[in-house]
Amino acid sequence: MDEQNRDNGPKITKSIINAPTNPMVTPLLTDLYQFTMAYAYWKAGKHNERAVFDLFFRRNPFGGEFTVFAGVEECIRYIANFKFTEAEIDFVRDAMPGKCEEGFFDYLRQLDCSEVEVYSIPEGSIVFPRIPLLRVEGPVGVAQLLETTLVNLVNFASLVATNAARHRIVAGKSKMLLEFGLRRAQGPDGGISASKYCYLGGFDATSNVSAGRLFGIPLKGTHSHAFVSSFMSLDEILEKSLRSADGSTLCEDFVNLVQTWLNKIQRTKFYGGFGETNLSELAAFTSYALAFPENFLALVDTYDVLRSGVPNFCAVALALKDLGYKAMGIRLDSGDLAYLSCEARKFFQAIESEFGVTGFGNTTITASNDLNEETLDHLNKQGHEVDAFGIGTYLVTCYAQAALGCVFKLVEINNQPRMKLSEDVSKVSIPCKKRCYRLYGKEGYPLVDLMVGENEPAPKVAERILCRHPFNESKRAYVVPQRVEELLKCYWSGSSDKMREDMLPLKDIRDRCIRQLEQMRPDHMRRLNPTPYKVSVSAKLYDFIHFLWLNEAPVGELQ
């Protein structure tokens, strides 16, 4: 939605930031209790008190020990364009569980994020539990209204980007990964978001045309089984001519050229025993090649991969080769992918040897059919010849885990640290405004992420620092960092004059993700039994956490 379509545009004029990609991302995309709390804050005169909230998660997804952080740009777009329309205020008035004073709606009417500051870890970074991904500072009323939307924008984005990165790690750097999940995604926005963040997480292309337009993601796709089975015979091909790739000659009967090559293939020694191919499939391949001679990729499993699909593809590919074109390859969408890919590779290599077609043995083999991380791992162990994987359902739905579990916790109000306690230690929050650092060791790998109080000195290179587990007294270690990186950077400065980070193009964010994955120690990234990455606090912050814990926790009385 263009910002002029909103009744009241944002007051912030530092620079124009586009509206959220999804027009449903408005101030109403939140939970009702955010409005009831906002009214209670306003009624108590607390709505303008300065608060600090941390957005973080407690556990890495998919049984792993890393997460890819995504969704920052959409969060900033939302914050920059945060403004209620009159229609939205009217709806809130009717939706509130009780009658509210009209002054509250006047408050909502003038509300924006000009007094809010947002600090974030850069999008595409590798992140870990408890470290604040976003720190939101501002009047408690508006900051509270941001909570649900920010969590929503980060949660799925980070989950699916992490899922994509895990698939990339298993597949290896050399394989092409294609996201084919739109038809199985949870609704239109699930499909669009998945395409964007799968690309961020290391995928190479998508079949989603809308995502390609919105985000500049490369598009890939061929035909379906319906196209193959829609042909009955070669007689259906009415326009048979095809001009050569350089435009110098015209082949008046490309169909005959394809049939000639099929006959040659069928007379070779390596073809013996395969029998006749399905000629309606041959007609479909030939027709598709006539339509897209520079991008001919055939789905070869409609009838029989080895007895029909692969030989028919080769006949069409060799006919294209005669006219100066290079066929792109085949796609396998069913069956034993390891076995079929190996047999298809042997067939291509035999064609290269028999007819002297240089490079034909390296013809690209793409595999699809409900692939997931585990399937890729099994294929690697079995041995396969697949060059590219088209992955859909298990990738975009994050089938292995429903949600990342991000939370948004108040850690400070009016400069007073606040802390949420729980009998479940994993749910105890770390109080106060914090600065976060990544400490690197001698081999260049990150060793630990460290949180310190806002006013503590930053850790220094080559200077020993005590890093402590936030809650476990015995877990502590000295670290002498060889490099120190501050994690949180200002991405929205409101009306202040603070410099803020630029939003990078999606391709650059993807490059950051891939680069950071390569920088991590391999044992943190492995699929089975990964080594937990250390997240720590300074000794001073550790002491303060436990001091505040004791002060806030009620003291029991035994009788």
pLDDT for 145 equals: 98
* Residue 378 and residue 492 in one domain: no
Unique residue bearing structure tokens 């620092």:
465
Give the model's confidence band at 5: pLDDT under 50 very low, under 70 low, under 90 confident, else very high: very low
Q: Is residue 515 part of a domain?
A: yes
Strands (E), 324-471: 329-332, 364-367, 388-391, 407-413, 416-417, 434-440, 446-453, 465-468
User: How much is the average pLDDT of 518-533?
Assistant: 96
Give the model's confidence band at 14: pLDDT under 50 very low, under 70 low, under 90 confident, else very high: low
Among residues 354, 383, 412, the one where a domain terminates is 383
* Residue 358 and residue 412 in one domain: no
Give the model's confidence band at 426: pLDDT under 50 very low, under 70 low, under 90 confident, else very high: confident
In angstroms, rounded to a whole number, what is the distance separating the alpha carbons of residues 463 and 444? 16
Q: What phi, psi does 224 have (nearest 5°)? A: -105, 180
Per-residue model confidence as pLDDT tens digits over 279-336: 999 999 999 999 999 999 999 999 999 999 999 999 999 999 999 999 999 999 999 9
In angstroms, rounded to a whole number, what is the distance separating the alpha carbons of residues 124 and 436? 17
* Residue 16 and residue 160 in one domain: yes
Among residues 323, 351, 383, the one where a domain terminates is 383
pLDDT for 11 equals: 41
Q: Is residue 173 part of a domain?
A: no
pLDDT > 70: what percent of the chain? 97
pLDDT for 275 equals: 82
In angstroms, rounded to a whole number, what is the distance separating the alpha carbons of residues 7 and 22? 17
Q: Is the pLDDT of residue 153 over 50?
A: yes
* Residue 111 and residue 243 in one domain: no
Q: Are strands 364-367 and 329-332 parallel, antiparallel or unpaired?
A: parallel
* Residue 11 and residue 44 in one domain: yes
Q: Is the pLDDT of residue 274 over 80?
A: no
* Residue 279 and residue 407 in one domain: no
Q: How far is CA 86 from CA 20, 146, 166, 199, 482, in A?
A: 19, 19, 45, 38, 55
* Residue 347 and residue 445 in one domain: no
Per-residue model confidence as pLDDT tens digits over 491-503: 999 999 899 999 9
Among residues 326, 353, 383, the one where a domain terminates is 383
Q: Is residue 132 part of a domain?
A: yes
Sign of the dihedral through C-alpha 44, 45, 51, 57: positive
Q: What is the CATH number of the domain that holds 336?
A: 3.20.20
First to last CA, the chain: 64
3-class SS of residue 425 = helix
Give the model's confidence band at 15: pLDDT under 50 very low, under 70 low, under 90 confident, else very high: low
Q: Is residue 198 part of a domain?
A: no
Strands (E), 416-532: 416-417, 434-440, 446-453, 465-468, 476-479, 483-486, 489-492
Q: Is the pLDDT of residue 392 over 90?
A: yes
pLDDT for 360 equals: 98
pLDDT for 530 equals: 97
3-class SS of residue 190 = helix
Q: What is the CATH number of the domain that holds 113?
A: 3.20.140.10
User: How much is the average pLDDT of 388-416?
Assistant: 96
Strand partners, 492: 118
Interhelix angle 32-43/86-95, rounded to 10 degrees, is 90
Per-residue model confidence as pLDDT tens digits over 205-253: 999 999 999 999 999 998 999 999 999 999 999 999 999 999 999 999 9
Maximum distance among all alpha carbons in the chain?
Answer: 101
Could you tell me if 507 and 216 are in contact, meaning their C-beta atoms sit under 8 angstroms apart?
A: yes
Unique residue bearing structure tokens 């402590």:
468
Task: Tell me which residue of 154, 171, 133, 142 sits closest to 49, measured CA to CA.
Answer: 142
Q: Is the pLDDT of residue 2 over 80?
A: no
* Residue 421 and residue 279 in one domain: no
Q: Is residue 180 part of a domain?
A: no
Give the model's confidence band at 393: pLDDT under 50 very low, under 70 low, under 90 confident, else very high: very high
Count of structural domains, the chain: 2
Give the model's confidence band at 436: pLDDT under 50 very low, under 70 low, under 90 confident, else very high: very high
User: How much is the average pLDDT of 75-94?
Assistant: 98
pLDDT > 90: what percent of the chain? 92
Strand partners, 55: 134, 408
* Residue 304 and residue 452 in one domain: no
* Residue 35 and residue 138 in one domain: yes
The tokens describing 384, both together, are: 């396969």
Q: Is residue 287 part of a domain?
A: yes
User: How much is the average pLDDT of 332-353?
Assistant: 97
* Residue 526 and residue 476 in one domain: yes
Per-residue model confidence as pLDDT tens digits over 159-205: 999 999 999 999 999 999 999 999 999 999 999 999 999 999 999 99
Domain range for 361 is: 234-383
Q: Round the average pLDDT of the chain to a whole number and report it.
A: 95
* Residue 433 and residue 542 in one domain: yes
Q: Is residue 137 part of a domain?
A: yes
Q: What phi, psi does 293 have (nearest 5°)? A: -65, -25
Per-residue model confidence as pLDDT tens digits over 513-524: 999 999 999 999
User: How much is the average pLDDT of 374-401?
Assistant: 97
Q: Is the pLDDT of residue 478 over 80?
A: yes
Q: Is residue 139 part of a domain?
A: yes
